[in-house]
């Protein structure tokens, strides 16, 4: 079978010759009903019978890997798709650099590798759970379709990780695969593994911020895992990144269109002061300071996903050749990091300052720096939109020490510029930096569904082009 094309004959579409791998095929077929139960219970609520215009991967050829069609989400063909193998691939970093990439799990790193796969896997169903009620308040059928596209692909990403667990990790892999269906986002007893994936995604601005900031963390993690010396992990992450690009798109353009509508409404009504929140809100759009607060919230929650700035786990995973750096192949150094330093922002004697740390220990910090850089590129495009319409306002990322729960700054409060605040000052000021109950209520009041083809809720501008080049009034979801 050609690796580029996908075998769609069986229950589980795949390009890993599952038909010839009876043990794994059976294990996945056994796991499948539990997955469908999970999807029906925790997937998009109220739309399981609707026909949604979705893309499905039919190939892993970058030039044409997807086809679009109407499908009921529970009938979506979730499959196992690995990017094509690179003949003779070598481990690109760490102490095994230059050796042949592993096609089987190296025994000495089994536990570490399983943990990396499980943590990545856990985030995928979590975000579906977080977003499950949003269909009911979609600002358009176009947006609703994008939400569901992201949801089914996160479901597929779960399949991607479960395949690795079932194929390469025996009994404990099977147990981990079951557990991935048992944890629930936000549940007090069986929460998802990482904090940001237990937060609520209560409204569409949160959804766009989540896909902009938190899916972008996903992208960074996938980029780092795509470097892995464990070749099956590398190949599965490479294909996941193809899908992830759409999630970034949904987040970035979603916020851009929200900002655009706000700025246009202000211009139309000759409201010049972006800080005159009451006046702006009367126009039925989300004021820019509140959009800034939402960005502050989602950025800070997402930074926690990078873990401790100084981390032995990260050092070990790199040293072992399991998890690399962002775009490792483009970096010009020895790829072993056994010497050398990296500047880490720390809290020293009550002051936030840079301190050089061994480069190997500072890998989380480094990935986080790459992430912040990537975020800033997107925010630049938001600000370009604001400037083009002519409103005096700029969205800015808060300081990395702001509102943190993990790492160096977990124990302190700061303002969005990174100035330390006492507990009392924080309590007094936090509603300037983070959405207040009043802000949340206002946003919620705007979340009225718009289900007529081609129409959009008043707080968001239409997109420039449709999905799959469809016309503006295309019926992306046929609501049942």
Could you say which residues in the range 97-136 bind Fe ion, by CB under 5 A? 124
3-class DSSP state of 414: strand
How many angstroms separate the CA atoms of 450 and 454, rounded?
A: 9
Closer Cβ to Fe ion, 155 or 324, answer by number: 155
Closest contact distance (angstroms) between CB of 269 and Fe ion is 37
How many angstroms separate the CA atoms of 283 and 87, rounded?
A: 59
Record the tokens describing residue 198, joined without a space: 């237990």
CB 360 within 8 A of CB 319: yes
How many angstroms separate the CA atoms of 42 and 44, rounded?
A: 7
Q: Which residues pair with 342 in a beta bridge?
A: 357
Closest contact distance (angstroms) between CB of 431 and Fe ion is 30
Closer Cβ to Fe ion, 157 or 335, answer by number: 157
Could you say which residues in the range 357-416 bind Fe ion, by CB under 5 A? none
How many angstroms separate the CA atoms of 39 and 181, rounded?
A: 9
Helix residue ranges, H only, 269-306: 277-282, 288-303
Closest contact distance (angstroms) between CB of 132 and Fe ion is 15
Closest contact distance (angstroms) between CB of 120 and Fe ion is 8
Number of residues that bind Fe ion (CB under 5 A): 6
Using the rule CB under 5 A, give the single segment among 49-57, 99-107, 198-206, 211-219 that binds Fe ion.
Answer: 211-219
CB-neighbour burial class of residue 182 (10 A; exposed 0-12, middle 13-18, buried 19+): exposed
Closest contact distance (angstroms) between CB of 157 and Fe ion is 4
Using the rule CB under 5 A, give the single segment among 101-109, 138-146, 153-161, 197-205 that binds Fe ion.
Answer: 153-161
How many angstroms separate the CA atoms of 82 and 232, rounded?
A: 7
Closer Cβ to Fe ion, 152 or 286, answer by number: 152
Which phi and psi (to 5°) does residue 323 adopt?
-135, 120
Kindly state the DSSP code that residue 211 receives in the 8-state scheme: I
Closer Cβ to Fe ion, 125 or 139, answer by number: 125
Closest contact distance (angstroms) between CB of 83 and Fe ion is 15
3-class DSSP state of 24: helix
Closest contact distance (angstroms) between CB of 171 and Fe ion is 26
H-run or E-run covering 347: strand 341-348
Using the rule CB under 5 A, give the single segment among 156-164, 274-282, 290-298, 383-391 that binds Fe ion.
Answer: 156-164
Closest contact distance (angstroms) between CB of 454 and Fe ion is 27
Contacts of 7 (CB under 8 A, 6+ apart): 1, 13, 14, 15, 17, 18, 19
Closest contact distance (angstroms) between CB of 211 and Fe ion is 7
With binding defined as CB under 5 A, does residue 246 bind Fe ion?
no
With binding defined as CB under 5 A, does residue 215 bind Fe ion?
yes
Closer Cβ to Fe ion, 35 or 456, answer by number: 35
Closest contact distance (angstroms) between CB of 138 and Fe ion is 18
Instruction: Please compute, for residue 151, the number of CA atoms within 13 A of its CA located in the half-sphere on the CB side.
Output: 30
Closer Cβ to Fe ion, 140 or 214, answer by number: 214
Torsion 221-224-227-230 (CA) sign: negative
Q: Report helix angle 288-303 to 363-389, nearest 10.
A: 170
Closer Cβ to Fe ion, 251 or 407, answer by number: 251
Closest contact distance (angstroms) between CB of 284 and Fe ion is 30
> How far lies 354's CA from each of 174, 372, 373, 407, 411, in Å?
44, 16, 17, 15, 18
Closer Cβ to Fe ion, 51 or 177, answer by number: 177
The correct pick among 96, 157, 167, 238 for binding Fe ion (CB under 5 A) is 157
How many angstroms separate the CA atoms of 442 and 152, rounded?
A: 30
Closest contact distance (angstroms) between CB of 244 and Fe ion is 5
How many angstroms separate the CA atoms of 82 and 49, rounded?
A: 30
Could you say which residues in the range 247-276 bind Fe ion, by CB under 5 A? 247
Closer Cβ to Fe ion, 203 or 215, answer by number: 215
Closer Cβ to Fe ion, 141 or 152, answer by number: 152
With binding defined as CB under 5 A, does residue 219 bind Fe ion?
no
Record the tokens describing residue 294, joined without a space: 């939402």
Closer Cβ to Fe ion, 124 or 143, answer by number: 124
Closer Cβ to Fe ion, 131 or 227, answer by number: 131
Using the rule CB under 5 A, give the single segment among 81-89, 242-250, 294-302, 429-437 that binds Fe ion.
Answer: 242-250
**Site of interaction with Fe ion (CB under 5 A):** 124, 154, 157, 215, 218, 247
């Amino acid at each position: 079978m050609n690796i580029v094309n996908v075998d769609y004959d069986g229950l589980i579409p795949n390009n890993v010759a599952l038909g010839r791998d009876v043990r794994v095929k059976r294990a996945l077929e056994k796991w499948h009903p539990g997955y469908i139960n999970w999807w029906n219970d925790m997937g998009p609520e109220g739309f399981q019978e609707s026909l949604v215009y979705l893309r499905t991967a039919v190939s892993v050829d970058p030039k044409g890997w997807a086809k679009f069609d109407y499908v009921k989400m529970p009938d979506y063909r979730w499959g196992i798709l690995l990017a094509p193998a690179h003949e003779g691939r070598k481990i690109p970093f760490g102490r095994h650099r230059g050796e042949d990439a592993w096609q089987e799990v190296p025994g000495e790193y089994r536990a570490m590798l399983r943990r990396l796969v499980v943590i990545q896997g856990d985030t995928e169903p979590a975000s579906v759970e977080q977003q499950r009620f949003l269909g009911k308040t979609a600002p358009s059928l176009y947006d609703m379709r994008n939400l569901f596209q992201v949801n089914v692909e996160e479901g597929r990403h779960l399949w991607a990780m479960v395949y690795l667990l079932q194929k390469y990790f025996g009994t404990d892999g099977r147990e981990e695969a079951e557990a991935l269906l048992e944890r629930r986002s936000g549940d007090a007893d069986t929460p998802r593994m990482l904090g940001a994936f237990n937060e609520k995604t209560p409204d569409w601005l949160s959804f766009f911020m989540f896909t902009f900031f938190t899916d972008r963390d996903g992208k960074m993690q996938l980029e780092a895992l795509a470097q892995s010396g464990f070749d099956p992990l590398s190949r599965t992450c490479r294909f996941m990144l193809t899908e992830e690009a759409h999630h970034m798109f949904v987040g970035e353009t979603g916020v851009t269109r929200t900002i655009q509508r706000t700025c246009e409404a202000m211009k139309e009504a000759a409201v010049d002061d972006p800080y005159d929140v009451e006046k702006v809100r009367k126009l039925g759009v989300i004021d820019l300071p509140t959009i800034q607060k939402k960005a502050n919230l989602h950025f800070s929650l997402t930074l926690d996903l990078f873990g401790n700035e100084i981390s032995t786990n990260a050092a070990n995973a790199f040293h072992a050749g399991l998890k690399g750096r962002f775009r490792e192949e483009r970096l010009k150094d020895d790829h072993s990091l056994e010497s050398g330093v990296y500047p880490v922002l720390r809290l020293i004697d009550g002051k936030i300052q840079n301190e050089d740390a061994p480069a190997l220990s500072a890998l989380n910090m480094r990935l986080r720096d790459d992430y912040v850089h990537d975020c800033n590129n997107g925010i630049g495009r938001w600000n370009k939109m604001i400037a083009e319409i002519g409103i005096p306002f700029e969205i800015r990322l808060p300081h990395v020490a702001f509102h943190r729960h993990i790492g160096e700054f977990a124990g302190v409060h700061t303002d969005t510029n990174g100035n330390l605040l006492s507990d009392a000052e924080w309590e007094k000021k936090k509603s300037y930096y983070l959405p207040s109950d009043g802000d949340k209520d206002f946003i919620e009041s705007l979340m009225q569904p718009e289900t007529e083809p081609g129409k959009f809720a008043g707080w968001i501008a239409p997109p420039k082009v449709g999905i799959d080049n469809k016309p503006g009034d295309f019926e992306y979801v046929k609501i049942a």
